[in-house]
């Protein structure tokens, strides 16, 4: 039985029948560790996807008649201050690493739509890698039995 470790041009094929038990155990532990990293990455991407989707949906609630309406402005995750919507045509969005930009509502909606699509695409790639790791991991478990 052999296992392919994909990595593009650096693809390596390992013949499991030629590995000693300690080597199989080490390979299993390495795969287990890498599987954990992929799982953590998927969870992080899922949180980002939800955050971007929530932001996009929040923009749908802002209409021209919203101007002057009261709103709770977060200062921290658990502390808010009351404010008023000064301009219902524009919002300031966080584009990452401490940078904020002012955008029109349609431009902000488009930005969040693109971010959701990008994160979803990255999640799909990681899910494929995750499945490959599961297949390799299962073949090691079956081979060790």
| Domain assignment present for 32 | no
| Domain assignment present for 78 | yes
Domains contained in the chain, number: 1
Q: What CATH number does the domain containing 68 carry?
A: 1.10.287.370
| Domain assignment present for 58 | yes
Instruction: State which residues form the domain around 109.
Output: 43-143
Tokens of 130: 């995750």
Predicted pLDDT at 26: 87
Nearest to 130 by CA among 2, 6, 42, 67: 42
| Domain assignment present for 21 | no
| Domain assignment present for 20 | no
pLDDT tens sequence across 77-94: 899 999 999 999 999 999
| Domain assignment present for 128 | yes
pLDDT tens sequence across 42-57: 999 999 999 999 999 9
pLDDT at 11 over 80: no
| Domain assignment present for 29 | no
Chain mean position to CA 69: 34
Tokens of 129: 């890698």
Can you tell me the distance from the alpha carbon of 105 to that of 67, in angstroms, rounded to the nearest whole number? 13
Average pLDDT, rounded, for the chain: 87
């Amino acid at each position: 039985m052999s296992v392919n470790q994909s990595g593009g041009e650096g693809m390596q094929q390992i013949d499991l029948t030629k590995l000693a038990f300690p080597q199989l155990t080490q390979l299993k532990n390495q795969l287990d560790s890498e599987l954990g990293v992929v799982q953590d990455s998927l969870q992080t991407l899922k949180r980002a996807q939800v955050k971007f989707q929530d932001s996009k949906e929040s923009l749908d609630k802002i209409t021209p008649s919203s101007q002057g309406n009261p709103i709770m402005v977060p200062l921290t995750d658990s502390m808010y201050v009351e404010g008023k919507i000064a301009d219902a045509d524009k919002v300031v969005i966080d584009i990452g690493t401490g940078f904020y930009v002012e955008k029109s509502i349609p431009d902000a909606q488009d930005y969040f739509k693109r971010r959701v699509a990008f994160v979803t695409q990255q999640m799909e790639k990681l899910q494929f890698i995750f499945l490959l790791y599961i297949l390799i991991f299962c073949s090691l478990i079956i081979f060790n039995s």
